[in-house]
Amino acid sequence: MELNILVICYLIGSVTFIIGLKMLSHPESARRGNLIAAAGMAISIFGTIFLYEEDGLKLQNYPWIFAALIIGSILGTLAAKRVKMTAMPEMVSLFNGMGGACAALISILEFDHIYSLIKDGRDSDHSILLIIFAGLIIGTISFAGSMVAWAKLNGRIKDFSFQGQHIMNLLIFGVIICLSGYSIYSGDLQIHTLFYVVFALSIIYGLFFVLPIGGADMPVVISLLNSFTGVAAAFGGFLYNNPVMLTGGILVGSAGTILTILMCKAMNRPLSNVLIGSFGGSKSSAASKDQGAYKEISISDSAVVMAYAKKVMIVPGYGLAVAQAQHVCHELEKLLSDKGVEVNYAIHPVAGRMPGHMNVLLAEADVDYSSLLEMEDANDVFPQTDVVLVLGANDVVNPAAKTDPSSPIYGMPVLDVELAKLVIINKRSMNPGYAGIENELFFQPKSSMLFGDAKDVLQKLVSEIKTL
């Protein structure tokens, strides 16, 4: 009877994961979808704790289990409540890394169990060993890579690469595969040592895998590592014959993979180029060009041209998130709309530091989802737009992606803001963006710079427009 109830708990968990993921596709239902999936997870967890049994024995060590649940819940809640929107990509990387570490630990624990049977003279189960090694390798790479991504986003480490690093990475990966294959099919007692050699090499590979990848590609890397964690969790579901772990892992793995492909498509680059090309790194041929002079615009002049425009397009970027200016940006939008100005937002797929960063940022300020235009739709509107206000975006509006074959971002689809009648660019300074590339847009005749913190600038614009 208890087993049947546990199966129902797992079924509920699997269904809620699917429903929750579907609801995450729209901001209005995303919060409810998240809560529904969390409720399904809670049912699955407590169902396992109280109802699971094997050979007539239930789970033991309840004090340890609930201590871990309580500590993890407290830490997770505090982290989620305190994290700033600018640090959200870092938290996603950190949490994703913890998922990969859990998958790797499951493989380590189950390997020790299998190895004890091999030492007793029993034949090894090749399929189980295959799942264990796969979970170990993928989970460890995800953990190590996510920690590097977290540290790079946090500013703790810089891009790092050396001559022939990609070749060395391939060699390390080849050794991992060969050692794993030998261990799975040999049944030799030496596989205990080889298992931990594979574990160590997977850590090294995970570190070197992400270290050379530049900042502009970090959203793609986060998405890819997220899919790795999902796949590793799915292998854990195979090990324990647990449908919830399997379903959750497959959903995360497939969703992360699809998102990675879509983001690469948005950048007009194959995934292999992202991983091998180290795009967005420290070297840039475009940065050394003499671009000429730029011109500035005042707050009052900006307010006038925006208040008397017919169409205004706002292009949000990481600078908006840094300044926590999404709410005052929405206030500016409403103020202009009340004056009869048509206001929309142009959203580039890789703006910010993680997939969907700008969508989440604006949803937090209750910006109407219908006013958010995807890149293709926004590019169709720019020629009819009177004023474009670029808020902290840089590489995603750089015309060099279309005109300069020597630029590292050449071929990447960007927002065609230069087609508008006037472009106002808000930045703190003239420093290059996250990819380390100078932006040709700043020096074009129709572009004007509006220097300052995004929140402070937007507040002054709101005050100025109210007086008109």
Give catalytic residues, as residue numbers.
395
Residue 425 is given by DSSP the state: E
SS3 per-residue string spanning 4-69 = HHHHHHHHHHHHHHHHHHHHCCCHHHHHHHHHHHHHHHHHHHHHHHHHCEECCEECCCHHHHHHHH
Q: Which amino acid is at 236?
A: G
Residue whose tokens read 């007692």: 189
Residue 433 is given by DSSP the state: -
Residue whose tokens read 């014959």: 241
Q: Give bridge partners of residue 447 from the DSSP assignment.
A: 423
Residue whose tokens read 């958010």: 372
Cα dist from 199 to 1, 95, 228, 421, 455, whole Å: 40, 20, 16, 57, 47
What CA–CA distance (Å, rounded) separates 353 from 187? 45
Q: Which two tokens stand for residue 260?
A: 């990675």
Beta pairing, strands 311-316 & 57-58: unpaired
Q: Is 448 helix (H, G, I), strand (E, B) or coil?
A: strand
SS3 per-residue string spanning 360-407 = HHHHHCCCCHHHEEEHHHHHHHHHHCCEEEEECCCHHHCCHHHHCCCC
Contact 261, 254 (CB under 8 A): no
Q: Which amino acid is at 15?
A: V
What CA–CA distance (Å, rounded) separates 467 from 87? 36
Contact 342, 310 (CB under 8 A): yes
